[in-house]
Amino acid sequence: MSFTEQEEGLMKESWEMMKQNIPELSLRLLTTILEIAAAAKSMFSFLRDSDEIPQNNPKLKAHAVKVFKMTCESAVQLREKGEVVVAENTLKNLGSIHLKKGIIDPHFELVNKALLRTIKEAVGEKWSEEMGSAWGVAYDKLAVAIKAQMKQED
Ligand code: HEM
Ligand code: ISQ
């Protein structure tokens, strides 16, 4: 499946709107993940010791920012190369962490849903179905790469 210039444009447009706000959005992303599936809480080390989502945990923020950023980068690659290539070290690291945490396919769908919902809220009236599906496609390709790595390590 090819990624059009228009789809990439929609992602860049939304990224421009969100990037100043990423620390806040990263908390929203996590909140949304837990709204959809409260049970996911126990998987995240930064949530285990508290009843609430910590507002100032640098590790949490850094991770969540990467989820947004990597999905954006995935879109650029889809446009340029027609495929998503994650740097080998990054992919190995992500594969082993997610494998260790016991992440399975339905979790990937959960994060996909939460990511789209978070973006929808963030961009407000700029949201469109096309924008959502562009993010969905880019996320999915990235998820496929991480899942493949997880299988390889299994
Ligand atoms: C850790 C990204 C999918 C749960 C991480 C980290 C990154 C990341 C960058 C930090 C890695 C490090 O410590 O070096 C992504 C991306 C995903 C994805 C880009 C999809 C495309 C998921 C899914 C789940 C999940 C589906 C499950 C709901 C976790 C957990 C950790 C983690 C539990 C460890 C956090 C901790 O306790 O330190 N992820 N992730 N991730 N991710 Fe994901
Ligand atoms: C890690 N992996 C997937 C989603 C995340 C959301 C918030 C913080 C860390 C994450």
How far is Cα 138 from Cα 80, in angstroms, rounded to an integer?
Answer: 13
- In order along its 154 residues, the chain shows pLDDT tens digits of 578 889 989 988 998 999 888 888 988 999 999 999 999 999 998 888 778 888 888 888 888 888 988 998 888 888 888 889 899 999 999 999 999 999 999 999 999 999 999 999 999 999 999 999 999 999 999 999 999 999 987 7
pLDDT digits (tens, 9 = 90+) for 58-91: 888 888 888 988 998 888 888 888 889 899 999 9
Angstrom distances, CA of residue 32 to CA of 3, 113, 115: 27, 9, 8
What is the whole-number distance in angstroms between the Cα of residue 98 and the centre of ligand 1?
6
Write down all domains in the chain, each with its CATH number in brackets: 5-153 (1.10.490.10)
- Helix 129-153 to helix 58-81 angle (10° resolution) is 100
Atom index in ligand 1 nearest the CA of residue 103 equals: 27
Please, what's the b/e burial string for 34-64 (b: 16 or more CB within 10 A of its CB; e: otherwise)? beebeebeeebeebeeeeebeeebeebbebb
What pLDDT is stored for residue 61 in this prediction? 83
30 lines ligand 2 (CB under 6 A): yes
pLDDT computed for residue 120 by the predictor? 96
- Residue 64: the pLDDT is 85
Q: Is 142 in the pocket of ligand 2 (CB under 6 A)?
A: no
Instruction: Report H helices in the chain.
Output: 5-18, 22-36, 45-48, 58-81, 88-100, 105-123, 129-153
Ligand index nearest the alpha carbon of residue 69: 1
Ligand nearest to the CA of 92: 1
